[in-house]
C-alpha cells in the first residue's frame, strides 16, 4: 500500500504508475485525494475540539476554586456539548479513514525506474542466459511421457481423488520431489544464511490482504469459506506476515527466512501442450525465500536474493535465463521483479521456475511491519522481498527432459544423488 501523503504529494506519478501497471484504476487517485482531504479535515476538527475541551476543563476548575458557580455551570454545559461533538467527529474520523484505506488497497506499487515500460510478456527484457541448451541427437521424450513410462507420477488417479491438477508422485518420482525440497532448503540455510521455518498452509483475510493477494488475486486462491481461510498459493503470505504489527530493532535487520510448503493455485481455464504434465498444476511444492531489510538496502538485497536462486540452477546444471519484468507484466505489488526460466529440451521452450521481487514498503505498510532506528528516531516502515528457490514441478520437468539419454534412462545431477539415493531413472 502506498502512503496517502505520498499520493497527495505525487498524484501524477501515481497515475502514471497505475497506467503502466495496466490497471483501469487511474481515477482512484482523485477519489483518494478527496477522501484524504475529508479525513484530514475530520482529524483537525477533532484535535481542535479536544484542545477546546481541555481548555474548558481547566476553566471549570479555576471557576470552581474562585467560587464562580454560575460561570462554572455554563462552562460545564459547554464542555458537555464539546464531548458530544467529539464523539461524532471521532466516528467521522473512523469512517473517513476506513474509506481512505479501502481506496488505497486498489492502488498498485510504483515501478522502480530501472523497470522497462511495457504491456505484455513480449515486453520483458532478457537480461542474461546461462549455460548451454542440451542438443539431443535422438527423439526425446516429453517429461509427462517419462513420468508415465517409469511410474514417477499418476495424474489419472490424482484426478480421481482430487481433480485435475493434483497428481500423485510415486516411487522415484516421490523421492525426487523430496530430494529437491531438502536440497533447496540445505542450500538456503547452509550457504544463504536463511533461517528455516515451517509455516501454516492456510491464512486468514488479514494475512492475504497484507501481502497483496487481496483484493487483487482472489480468483487464484482456494477459499475455505466456513472458516474464513485460504489455502496458500505461496509461502510468501504466511512467512511475510510473521512480523505483522511488529516493531523490529534496526540491529536485527536483515532477517532472512526460508520455508518449504505445498502451494495451491486455481489455475483457471488453460488447455493444451503448454499446460500439460507438470507445466501447470493446482498443487505443487516450493521453497520460498523471504527477507525483511532496511529500506536503503533493499535493492542490494534483491540482487543477492536473485543470486541465491540462480545458484541452485547452476548446481543442478540447468540452462536458464533471467528476465527483467516490464511494468505491465510485473504484478500489482512489486516495484521490481525478475523471473528465472529453465530450458526444456523436449518441449523446446522456457519454463518459469522462480520469481524474485522487491516490494519496497508496499507490503510492510499494509502489515504495519516497522523497525526502530538505532539512533532512537521515529519508527520506520521496512522493506520486504521474496523469491522462489525454487518451484519444483518445472524443475523436475527440465531435469527429466534435459538429462535423458538415447537408451531411455535419465541421469540424476551429481549434486542431487546424495539426496535421492539413486543415480539414474530407468
Other Cβ atoms closer than 10 A to 165: 18
For residues 60 and 72, the answer to whether their CB atoms sit within 8 Å is: yes
pLDDT at 388 over 80: yes
For residues 171 and 231, state if they share a domain. yes
pLDDT band at 270 (very low <50, low <70, confident <90, very high): low
For residues 55 and 97, state if they share a domain. yes
For residues 132 and 62, state if they share a domain. no
pLDDT for res 259:
98
What are the pLDDT digits (tens) for 164-216? Answer: 999 999 999 999 999 999 999 999 999 999 999 999 999 999 999 999 999 87
Distances (CA, A) of 214 to 220, 237, 259: 10, 11, 22
Cell numbers representing residue 61 in the block: 476548575
For residues 327 and 399, state if they share a domain. yes
pLDDT for res 273:
61
Question: Range with the lowest mean pLDDT among 83-87, 208-212, 214-218, 293-297?
Answer: 214-218
For residues 395 and 274, state if they share a domain. yes
pLDDT band at 161 (very low <50, low <70, confident <90, very high): very high
CATH of the domain at 258: 3.30.930.10
pLDDT for res 77:
84
Q: Which single residue is written with the C-alpha cell 487511474?
A: 26
The answer to whether residue 259 sits within a structural domain is yes
Domain count, the chain: 2
For residues 172 and 301, state if they share a domain. yes
Please state the pTM of the whole predicted model.
0.92
Residues involved in catalysis: 265, 280, 352, 355, 394
State the average pLDDT for the chain: 94
Q: Could you tell me which residue, 83 or 279, shows the higher pLDDT?
A: 279
Q: What's the domain range around 195?
A: 121-425
For residues 64 and 192, state if they share a domain. no
For residues 376 and 276, state if they share a domain. yes
Long-range contacts of 80-83 (CB under 8 A, 24+ apart): 82/49, 82/52, 82/53, 82/56, 83/53
pLDDT for res 169:
98
For residues 305 and 371, state if they share a domain. yes
What are the pLDDT digits (tens) for 4-25? Answer: 999 999 999 999 999 999 876 6
- In total, the chain counts a number of residues equal to 426
Amino acid at each position: 500500500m502506498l502512503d496517502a501523503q505520498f499520493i497527495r504529494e505525487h498524484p501524477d506519478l501515481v497515475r502514471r504508475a497505475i497506467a503502466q501497471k495496466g490497471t483501469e484504476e487511474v481515477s482512484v487517485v482523485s477519489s483518494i485525494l478527496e477522501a484524504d482531504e475529508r479525513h484530514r479535515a475530520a482529524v483537525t476538527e477533532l484535535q481542535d475540539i479536544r484542545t477546546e475541551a481541555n481548555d474548558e476543563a481547566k476553566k471549570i476548575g479555576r471557576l470552581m476554586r474562585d467560587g464562580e458557580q454560575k460561570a462554572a455551570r455554563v462552562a460545564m454545559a459547554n464542555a458537555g456539548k464539546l464531548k458530544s461533538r467529539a464523539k461524532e467527529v471521532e466516528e467521522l474520523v473512523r469512517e473517513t479513514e476506513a474509506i481512505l484505506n479501502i481506496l488505497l488497497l486498489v492502488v498498485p506499487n510504483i515501478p522502480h525506474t530501472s523497470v522497462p515500460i511495457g504491456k505484455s510478456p513480449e515486453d520483458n527484457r532478457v537480461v542474461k542466459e546461462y549455460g548451454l541448451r542440451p542438443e539431443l541427437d535422438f527423439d526425446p521424450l516429453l517429461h509427462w511421457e517419462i513420468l508415465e513410462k517409469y511410474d514417477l507420477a499418476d495424474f489419472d488417479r490424482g484426478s480421481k481423488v482430487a481433480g485435475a491438477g493434483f497428481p500423485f508422485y510415486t516411487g522415484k518420482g516421490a523421492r525426487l520431489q523430496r530430494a529437491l525440497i531438502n536440497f533447496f532448503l540445505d542450500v538456503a540455510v547452509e550457504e544463504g544464511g536463511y533461517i528455516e521455518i515451517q509455516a501454516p498452509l492456510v491464512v486468514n483475510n488479514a494475512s492475504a490482504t497484507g501481502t497483496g493477494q487481496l483484493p487483487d488475486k482472489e480468483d487464484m486462491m482456494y477459499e475455505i469459506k466456513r472458516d474464513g481461510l485460504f489455502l496458500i498459493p505461496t509461502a510468501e503470505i504466511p512467512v511475510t506476515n510473521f512480523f505483522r504489527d511488529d516493531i523490529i530493532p534496526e540491529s536485527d535487520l536483515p532477517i532472512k527466512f526460508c520455508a518449504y510448503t505445498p502451494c495451491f493455485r486455481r489455475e483457471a481455464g488453460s488447455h493444451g501442450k503448454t499446460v500439460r504434465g507438470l507445466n501447470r498444476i493446482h498443487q505443487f511444492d516450493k521453497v520460498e525465500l523471504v527477507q525483511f531489510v532496511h529500506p536503503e538496502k533493499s535493492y542490494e538485497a534483491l540482487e543477492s536474493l536473485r543470486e541465491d536462486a540462480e545458484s541452485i540452477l547452476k548446481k543442478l546444471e540447468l540452462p536458464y535465463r533471467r528476465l527483467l519484468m516490464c511494468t505491465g507484466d510485473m504484478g500489482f505489488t512489486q516495484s521490481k521483479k525478475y523471473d528465472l526460466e529453465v530450458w526444456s529440451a523436449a518441449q523446446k521452450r522456457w519454463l518459469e521456475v522462480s520469481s524474485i521481487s522487491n516490494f519496497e514498503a508496499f507490503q510492510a505498510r499494509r502489515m504495519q511491519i516497522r523497525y526502530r532506528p538505532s539512533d532512537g528516531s521515529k519508527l520506520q516502515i521496512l522493506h520486504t522481498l521474496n523469491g522462489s528457490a525454487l518451484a519444483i514441478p518445472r524443475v523436475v520437468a527440465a531435469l527429466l527432459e534435459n538429462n535423458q539419454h538415447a537408451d531411455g534412462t535419465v541421469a540424476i545431477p551429481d549434486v542431487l544423488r546424495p539426496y535421492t539415493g539413486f543415480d539414474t531413472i530407468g
